[in-house]
Amino acid sequence: MATVRTSIHGYWSSRFAFVLAASGSAIGLGNIWKFPYMAGENGGGAFVLLYLVCVALFGVPVMMAEILLGRRGRSSPMNTMRVLAAEEKCSSSWNLLGLMGVLAGFLILSYYSVIAGWALDYVVEIGSGSFVNVTRDEAGEVFTNLISSPRRLLFWHTLFMVLTMVVVARGVSKGLEIAVRLLMPALLFLVLVMIAYAMVKGDFYAGLKFLFTPDFSKLSPGVVLKAMGQAFFSLSLGMGAIMMYGSYLPRDASIATTSFQVAIVDTVVAVLAGLAIFPIVFANGLEAGQGPGLIFNTLPLAFGQMMGGVFFGAIFFVLLVFAAWTSAISLIEPAVAWLIEKFSISRLWSSLICGGIAWVIGLGTVFSFNNWKRIELFNDTFLAGKSFFDLLEYTTSNIMLPLGGVLICIFAAWFMREPSRRDELQIVNEGAYHVWRFLARYITPLGVILIFLHAIGILEKLHIT
Ligand code: TRP
């Protein structure tokens, strides 16, 4: 049952190139910016533990399923789902899954670009010495000034979107490899430098305790949902990004090994980022639960005091921008590839159109931090007090990605016929295959659905918990 489908967009040069690209997609703002602030907001250790469980139980099986479908379909997620549904004699509505992914990609990229813009601004801010020996409050002021200025945010958002589109327009594999092979290890190195600094100057013990002693009284159904959402977000799962990258994967590469490698690298980077940040938070009496500004209010304090901090600080944010860049391109690639397939337009046009759409949606996030802090429209609902950015962030990570991930798992583990699945996964280890199939068939779908029901309070009403 070997498939003869080919990708019109090209292939990775090797399995290693795919691991690099997938890691480049996975490692990004999600690890360095979002993971610490989510852990900080949701009580530390208990959140971290749940996050790790979600990566193992949901993340790895979904990643395998995504690569499996992508490689078999060899096109953008929408077309992949259409082709595979036909091949497996399933309803053609499965391509709605691809559509939801494309939508999620636009929504996530729209705010991702604004936050990456903060990092761009900080390259200049730190590089020009603004943080040398600043106090906590002065550093906070620099951040407040940035987010209160729509013009500055807009400038950086635009620049980042243009950068992203330049790479996408040239085809994702060009340039990506160098970025990931050289710059990601450099980022990791700087995170390690920060950890060393945190050990000496920060309150390292308090940081460790916060991240690794679970306080289960801090848990609530909402926290479980957020830990799950963060696992999907950080691993780039649930919207077809990894499916798209999987469609460029040579046939002889092992899907299981690859998935494990990506999941492990991604998780290590997130945990290390936490270790670098929380000791500084506690040593300076900062608020762990302050939200999205966390790293921007924390790291500059450290860079402001350390020797060579102007240099290291600027480099750190440059590398963070690179990490965000290699993630951003994977958010939009499914949409870009689909437009090319559907309308036979050039990659350049497709990139311009997609980038333009994401840029416009991003304006909502630009104004979320200043002119439109709260959306008045929802004042009387449970959404009261949430900004446009909060809403986007919440619905994409906590609803759209897990839902997409579950549907991907269900298709791969239930609807696809056994021979197709086996053919594509090229099982060498029967036991491992059965573990994957069991997780993908039962644990991931049921787990995610229970967490959903729990979060909206249905289980409590039925007195199940
Ligand atoms: N995983 C990336 C990060 O951690 C963000 C990202 C890239 C993403 N592609 C994705 C998230 C697809 C969800 C789906 O920063």
pTM: 0.94
Position 12 scores a pLDDT of 81
Within the chain, which residues score under 50 in pLDDT?
1
Residue 420 lies inside a defined structural domain of this protein: no
Q: CB neighbours (10 Å) of residue 305?
A: 16
Residue 450 lies inside a defined structural domain of this protein: no
The alpha helices in 3-44, defined as continuous H runs, are 15-26, 29, 35-41
Position 1 scores a pLDDT of 47
Q: Rounded to whole angstroms, what are the CA distances from 181 to 157, 169, 185, 329, 421?
A: 26, 21, 7, 16, 31
Candidate of 31, 160, 230, 236 to mutate for ligand 1, largest count of ligand atoms within 8 Å of Cβ: 236
Residue 444 lies inside a defined structural domain of this protein: no
- CA 380 to ligand 1 center in whole angstroms: 32
Question: Rounded to whole angstroms, how far apart are CA atoms 6 and 80?
Answer: 11
Query: 440: which 2 tokens?
Result: 């993908």
Residue 440 lies inside a defined structural domain of this protein: no
Residue 423 lies inside a defined structural domain of this protein: no
- CA 331 to ligand 1 center in whole angstroms: 7
Return the sign of the alpha-carbon dihedral for residues 71, 76, 78, 84: negative
**Which residue minimizes the CA distance to atom 7 of ligand 1?**
327
Q: CB neighbours (10 Å) of residue 98?
A: 26
**Which residue minimizes the CA distance to atom 12 of ligand 1?**
236
Residue 102 lies inside a defined structural domain of this protein: yes
Among the listed residues 247, 110, 236, the one whose alpha carbon sits nearest the alpha carbon of residue 173: 247
| 8 A C-beta contact, residue 441 and residue 414 | yes
Residue 62 Cβ contacting ligand 1 at under 6 Å:
no
Among the listed residues 301, 261, 339, 316, the one whose alpha carbon sits nearest the alpha carbon of residue 24: 261
Position 462 scores a pLDDT of 72
Position 4 scores a pLDDT of 64
- CA 277 to ligand 1 center in whole angstroms: 21
Candidate of 233, 245, 394 to mutate for ligand 1, largest count of ligand atoms within 8 Å of Cβ: 233
Burial class (CB in 10 A: 0-12, 13-18, 19+), 8: exposed
Question: Rounded to whole angstroms, how far apart are CA atoms 66 and 428?
Answer: 19
Tokens 């036909």 identify what position? 86
Tokens 């996030």 identify what position? 365
**Which residue minimizes the CA distance to atom 13 of ligand 1?**
236
- CA 239 to ligand 1 center in whole angstroms: 9
Q: Structurally, how many domains does the chain consist of?
A: 1
- CA 176 to ligand 1 center in whole angstroms: 15
Residue 22 Cβ contacting ligand 1 at under 6 Å:
no
Mean pLDDT of the residues in the chain: 92
Burial class (CB in 10 A: 0-12, 13-18, 19+), 352: middle
CATH number at 225 reads 1.10.4160
Residue 380 lies inside a defined structural domain of this protein: yes
- CA 85 to ligand 1 center in whole angstroms: 26
Range of the domain at 208: 15-390
Position 6 scores a pLDDT of 87
Atom of ligand 1 nearest to the CA of 26: 1
Candidate of 29, 51, 108 to mutate for ligand 1, largest count of ligand atoms within 8 Å of Cβ: 108
Position 377 scores a pLDDT of 59
* 26 Cβ contact list (under 8 Å, min separation 6): 234, 235, 236, 262, 263, 265, 266, 327
Question: Rounded to whole angstroms, how far apart are CA atoms 63 and 255?
Answer: 9
Residue 425 lies inside a defined structural domain of this protein: no
Q: Rounded to whole angstroms, what are the CA distances from 266 to 192, 247, 284, 333, 369?
A: 15, 21, 28, 20, 29
- CA 30 to ligand 1 center in whole angstroms: 7
209-248 residue pLDDT tens: 999 999 889 888 889 999 999 999 999 999 999 999 999 8
**Which residue minimizes the CA distance to atom 2 of ligand 1?**
26
Query: 20: which 2 tokens?
Result: 């690099």
Question: Rounded to whole angstroms, how far apart are CA atoms 332 and 294?
Answer: 27
Position 374 scores a pLDDT of 64
| 8 A C-beta contact, residue 106 and residue 338 | no
Position 146 scores a pLDDT of 96
Query: 456: which 2 tokens?
Result: 């909206």
